Structure 1
Amino acid sequence: MSKIQFDKISSVTKNLELKAEEKLTDKLSCEMGTVLAVQVLDDKNVYNELELPTGRMSKIKKGDVIAVALGNRMALQGFVGNLPKTLKVDDVIHLLNFGGVAGVCVSANLKEVGEPMRVRVLGGVERKGKLLNINQACKFKPLTSLKKCAPLIITTGTSMDSGKTTVAVEITKTLTRMGMKLAGAKLTGVGAHRDTYKMSDYGVYEAVSFTDCGVASTANIDGQTMVGVAKGALDHLSKSNPDAIMIEFGDGLMGKYGVDAILCDPEIQKHVRFHIGCARDPIGAVGLAQECQRIGLPIDMMSGPVTDNQVGKDILKERLNILTYNAFKPDNQWLDLIIARWATEYKNAA
């Protein structure tokens, strides 16, 4: 049994609290969440940083030894990658995201992110004779039904990078400054902590993600499993009685990350009190609104780049007769709706 000295530890392994020196094993698994020691084989000029457990972004250089976890990625803009079918020491796989999720890349937006960074497998990380997996250090477990659930504010979008995080944290900032006690959850995506750290920066007292349920990536996971993870997160956060839980979904409604399965669940739907949609353009906004209406979760307010100037706002008003909100030029028209709905919530709870 050998030991390895890490140069960098990725944030997806955060809950395991890996040390700079850990034991290695050559008995590997292709299971999602398996923790590996790998050596970086390339220097890159783009997409060349790793998020550390602290949230700090650190440059990755050729020769660095880093701790990663296996997972899938199905990014519309970025890397597409799968779990390896077989795995042994010295195999070459790829770093799929800045949070430290690794797999076999099969497609990429080369102009934006370049070729995937190759990493050589040095071994699996072992403790007490057992190969580590991020599912061995969970904050909560999946649930088949909600025992308790606070009111939900949800942010959905047409795709990744449609403005979801930006609007979610601006709304969070406003509500917490008004005195509301908010928790936060990121329920879908690929393992990283940037968005939950942002939620904390803007006022939520606790934020969790699917990684806290031992899931490295929600890509290609079946709907029933995803709903269970979501309910586990909501139940966990609701135990401390927040006024609301701010929910963000990585990727869009039609992506491969389980967003639609969670949104279609009737038990989750009945706790949604405010729904924010995000889109880049008018046709995307209209399509998102129509699809959300179809599944039983109509959008209350539209945000994202489509609202960056008056043209988009006017089109949305004409086509959807819906509130609009731009995080870079915020207004407070939406607050009347929030106040009315939470007044009813508090009255019913009294």
Structure 2
Amino acid sequence: MEPIAPTRLTAAKKSYAVRRVNFSDCSHLATNACTPKPGDIVLARVQALGSHKRIELPNGRKASLRVGDEIVLAFGNRYAPDQYEAYVPEKLETCHMVAAGGIAAKAASWHDRLSGPTVVEPVGVLCAADGQALNLTDYALPTIACSMPSCVFGVFGTSMNAGKTATAAALVHGFAKSGYRVGALKVTGTAAGGDPWLMHDSGAAKVLDFTDGGLATTFGTPLDKIVGTTRNLLRTLYRSQCDVAVVEIADGLFQEETRQIAASPLMHSLFDGVVFAAGDALGAVAGTRSLQELDYRVLGVSGAVMQSPLAVREIIMNVDIPAFSLPDLHSPGTISDIMEQTLCGQLAVAQ
């Protein structure tokens, strides 16, 4: 270990992923013989710019990167079909920044449209004076014991960029417009600030994501950890007096953690109903049927597919549920129909 000057740490560009960290806890760097773990916080130096030429700061600003910049990232695995497949390295060695939100990992593969990852050299893992590595789990919201919001709605989808976040934000806006105090929660994915800020802009009274539960990413995270984190974050929304929660599950039903979540009785029990987002009619129909086979109450289909009237017609011909455009989900009439289809129909509108 070696000490780190506070001024050096202050000058480094800090990413969204580490926004909950109290950097006054850091006094040293572990610079060798260190095996990184998911969530460990690392000071790294930019060696070469790739597809990520900017880093998302905790306040949402996208800061430009230059070769030689020192940045603060969190180690994490990443699964993103339109971006990177990446894994936490087995030792402290040259690796990559695989997400603008601040994830350090070794890229194993990436989408053809990308130029390749930004290369970073770890300077050292941030440590306390006793040599203990700082980890995002140290800064997770505390575990609380209380109820959860009265009504919880999930948003699943076919894949990355199927329109899940837009669908969730539209639901948030619809519930808020209808007078409910709504909380928004993203329980899986890769640390990034854009989705939470969109939920705030859409009218959510409280917004949380898995990083508030101490996770940089959820790829490779055991199901019991994801379930426990989800339940605690829902309780935190309840503590903020949210009577309705909208929960987004990242990636598609074929992604391993999403598959496990969909099949989990404990996760299933949380949802009063779900909306399925898809990019095409076949995906919408197949995904809806998959969830129905797992006994989910699928309230409707939405997502990028709604841009095509012909595709919407194909969906309606093959599944007996509504297809919701984003303006549909903004409508108090649609929200009223959704509530009446579930056990939430008697929930009083917040005054």
- TM-score, reference length from structure 1: 0.89
Q: Conserved in 2, the CA contact under 8 Å of 1:24 and 1:123?
A: yes
Residue number in structure 2 paired with 1:101: 103
Write out per-residue CA displacement over residues 196-249 of structure 1, whole angstroms, 9 at most, x where no aligned residue.
121112111111111111111110222222212211212222233322111111
Selected match of 1:57 from 54, 58, 62: 62
Selected match of 2:44 from 35, 38, 44: 38
CA distance in 1 between partners of 2:344 and 2:138 (Å): 41
Structure 1: give runs of 5+ residues left out of the alignment: none
CA distance in 1 between partners of 2:200 and 2:28 (Å): 33
Identity of aligned residues (%): 23
Q: Conserved in 1, the CA contact under 8 Å of 2:75 and 2:104?
A: yes
Q: Conserved in 2, the CA contact under 8 Å of 1:2 and 1:25?
A: no
Residue number in structure 2 paired with 1:308: 307
Q: Which amino acid aligns with 1:41?
A: Q
Indicate the SS of the match to 1:124: strand
Selected match of 1:137 from 136, 139, 142: 139
Does residue 264 of the first structure (1) align with residue 270 of the second (2)? no
Residue number in structure 2 paired with 1:200: 200
Residue number in structure 2 paired with 1:121: 122
Structure 2: give runs of 5+ residues left out of the alignment: none
Indicate the SS of the match to 1:334: helix
Write out per-residue CA displacement over residues 272-314 of structure 1, whole angstroms, 9 at most, x where no aligned residue.
2231111111111111011101112132111112111210111
CA distance in 2 between partners of 1:128 and 1:203 (Å): 42
CA distance in 1 between partners of 2:221 and 2:269 (Å): 24
CA distance in 2 between partners of 1:280 and 1:206 (Å): 28
Residue number in structure 1 paired with 2:236: 236
Residue number in structure 2 paired with 1:250: 250
CA distance in 2 between partners of 1:114 and 1:327 (Å): 33
Write out per-residue CA displacement over residues 21-61 of structure 1, whole angstroms, 9 at most, x where no aligned residue.
964332533111111100011134x4322111112222222
Name the CA shift for 1:229/1:339 in 2 (closer, same or farther; >3 Å).
Answer: closer
Q: Conserved in 2, the CA contact under 8 Å of 1:224 and 1:261?
A: no
Q: CA shift at 1:329, angstroms? A: 7.5
CA distance in 2 between partners of 1:193 and 1:76 (Å): 19
Q: Which amino acid aligns with 2:250?
A: G
Q: Conserved in 1, the CA contact under 8 Å of 2:52 and 2:98?
A: no
Q: Conserved in 2, the CA contact under 8 Å of 1:82 and 1:106?
A: yes
Q: Which shifted more, 166-175 or 282-291?
A: 166-175
Residue number in structure 1 paired with 2:173: 173
Q: Conserved in 2, the CA contact under 8 Å of 1:47 and 1:114?
A: no
Q: Conserved in 1, the CA contact under 8 Å of 2:87 and 2:107?
A: yes
Q: CA shift at 1:342, angstroms? A: 6.6
Q: Conserved in 2, the CA contact under 8 Å of 1:38 and 1:68?
A: yes
Residue number in structure 2 paired with 1:318: 317
Q: CA shift at 1:315, angstroms? A: 0.6
Q: CA shift at 1:11, angstroms? A: 0.7
Q: Conserved in 2, the CA contact under 8 Å of 1:323 and 1:334?
A: no
CA distance in 2 between partners of 1:343 and 1:84 (Å): 46
Q: Which amino acid aligns with 1:335?
A: I
Q: Conserved in 1, the CA contact under 8 Å of 2:41 and 2:74?
A: yes
Name the CA shift for 1:339/1:297 in 2 (closer, same or farther; >3 Å).
Answer: closer
CA distance in 2 between partners of 1:252 and 1:203 (Å): 26
Q: Which shifted more, 21-30 or 157-166?
A: 21-30
Q: Conserved in 2, the CA contact under 8 Å of 1:9 and 1:18?
A: no
Residue number in structure 1 paired with 2:273: 274
Q: Which shifted more, 218-227 or 275-284?
A: 218-227
CA distance in 1 between partners of 2:264 and 2:64 (Å): 40
Indicate the SS of the match to 1:323: coil
Q: Conserved in 2, the CA contact under 8 Å of 1:24 and 1:125?
A: yes
Q: Conserved in 1, the CA contact under 8 Å of 2:174 and 2:335?
A: no
Q: Which amino acid aligns with 1:105?
A: A
Residue number in structure 1 paired with 2:214: 214
- TM-score, reference length from structure 2: 0.89
Q: Which amino acid aligns with 1:73?
A: R
Q: CA shift at 1:253, angstroms? A: 1.7
Q: Which amino acid aligns with 2:278?
A: A
Q: Which amino acid aligns with 1:296?
A: D
User: RMSD of aligned C-alpha atoms?
Assistant: 2.2
